[in-house]
Amino acid sequence: MHPALTALLAGRPVPLEAWRTWWDQLEQRTPGPARDSDRAQAAALLACLTTRLPDPATLTALTTSLTERSPHPGTPVDGSVNIVGTGGGPATLNLSTAAALTAAAIGIPVVKTGSRAYTSAAGSVDLLERLGITLTTSHNHTADHLADHGIAFAGPHVYPPQLTRLARTLYPLTLKPFGHFLNTLGPLLATVPVTAQLTGVSHTAPLDALRRLAAHTPARAVWLATNPAGADELLPFTDNTLHTPDTTVHLTAGSVAPATGSLADLAPRPDHLTEHFLTALEGRAHPTTTHTIALNAAALALASGRHTHWHTAYHQALDALADGTPRTLTERLRTRHQAVTHA
């Protein structure tokens, strides 16, 4: 049994070098079906991490051992930003994806990361797939999409390749049972060419641990958002707290957007996933949905540094939704995908 797994099972700290040798061992494994012992150790490691989050030093060492092996994403566009949540909170429509498109529509460069659903009806990748929007396949591809459209939806290349090796070792088991842990860590494992990131932290995710990890993410300024409703996005009808690298910002309900509505207004419609989403992008969904998307788009604008006033950014996002500009952008991305597919 590898020393990293032995230490985890015993509740002892796992240093950086032990994690490095774990990934080295995984890389040296012969391609093809995994041995039962390899699969068992991989499953035991993930089960241990999912059942009980390790101590802060171990968690920092783990993330460092993964991100240091990822290809460098290149120089980010100044004022570019990512929005991604930890998942696991109340079920809502894909608000972060809608906010990303709205922020891009008002001139904020956005590189959006995400995943397939583990706990929700549809993750951002599931939604984009149904919309016919292409994920980028490399950092150069991401840069081209960003230059052409002001937004790029990054594919799995932004995540450490060791996670793919881990998945192959587990096969025919899947990563789904460990989705909560991977979703929690995923936002800080992605190597994304942005200068800032807004990460919604649901009530199921460990805020203190994520704040410590965010402090060890020097490549981009990470903002962590929480609220008493437990959602992993900012909500207009409740107080929100933003933990930035420099300070803590408290947004009281009604201070930017109207403090009306409830989570029920934001519920997803799995049977009408794309139609509901596209309607929201032109401000024709429930008013609470419109205000929530605009509030999160405003947060992206402030995190990017391109705006300094909440109300200005919020109302600009509202105007874009009223004009249907985010939907127009989405349709352009869908048309491009269809043109490439049929070329």
Q: Which residues contact 60 (CB under 8 A, 6 or more apart)?
A: 212, 213, 216
Output the DSSP codes for 113-145: -----SSSS--HHHHHHHHTPPPB-SHHHHHHH
Beta strands in the chain (DSSP E): 81-85, 110-112, 151-153, 196-200, 221-226, 240-243, 248-251
Same domain, 224 and 299: yes
Cβ–Cβ under 8 Å, residues 317 and 297: yes
Q: How far apart are CA 155 and CA 135, in angstroms?
A: 5
Cα distances (angstroms) measured from residue 192 to each of 75, 189, 228, 244, 282: 10, 9, 29, 18, 28
Backbone angles phi, psi at 169, to 5 degrees: -70, -35
* Residue 287 and residue 262 in contact, taking contact as beta carbons nearer than 8 Å: no
Residue 193 CB contacts under 8 Å (≥ 6 apart), including other chains = 73, 74, 75, 76, 77, 80, 111, 139, 142, 143, 146
The predicted pLDDT at position 31 comes to: 62
Q: Are residues 51 and 143 in the same domain?
A: no
Structure tokens at 111: 């590189």
Q: Is residue 223 part of a domain?
A: yes
3 state DSSP class of 8: helix
Q: Which of 67, 91, 122 is the last residue of a domain?
A: 67
Clarify whether residues 23 and 137 are in a common domain: no
DSSP 73: -
Contact by Cβ (8 Å): 121, 270: yes
Q: Domain for residue 231, yes or no?
A: yes
- pLDDT at residue number 36: 84
Tell me, yes or no, whether 73 lies in a domain: no
Spatial neighbors of 52 by CB under 8 A, at least 6 apart, are none
Please give the DSSP secondary-structure letter assigned to residue 154: B
Provide the domain limits for residue 263.
81-154+190-336
161 lies in a domain? no
For residue 12, is it within any domain? yes
Rounded to whole angstroms, the Cα distance separating 78 from 66 reads 26
CATH number of the domain residue 28 falls in: 1.20.970
In this structure, the answer to whether residues 287 and 254 fall within a common structural domain is yes
Task: Return the DSSP state at 173.
Answer: S
Beta bridge partners of 226: 241
Verify that 10 and 117 share a domain, yes or no.
no
Spans of the chain, pLDDT less than 70: 30-34, 117-121, 336-343
- Residue 118, pLDDT score: 56
Answer whether 229's CB lies under 8 Å from 73's CB.
no
Is residue 178 assigned to a domain? no
Same domain for 324 and 203?
yes
Residues 56 and 116 in one domain: no
pLDDT of residue 37: 86
Based on the fold, state whether residues 63 and 108 are members of the same structural domain.
Answer: no
Give the position of tokens 């990460």.
199
182 occurs within a structural domain: no
Whether 194 maps to a domain, the answer reads yes
Please report the pLDDT score of residue 322 as a whole number.
98
| CATH (domain of 257) | 3.40.1030.10
Is cis: bond before 270, omega within 30 of 0? no
Q: Are 192 and 173 in contact (CB under 8 A)?
A: no
Q: How many folded domains does the chain comprise?
A: 2
Q: Are residues 53 and 194 in the same domain?
A: no
Judge if 57 and 132 occupy the same domain: no
Q: Are residues 272 and 296 in the same domain?
A: yes
Q: Are residues 59 and 110 in the same domain?
A: no
**Helix, strand, or coil (residue 28):** coil
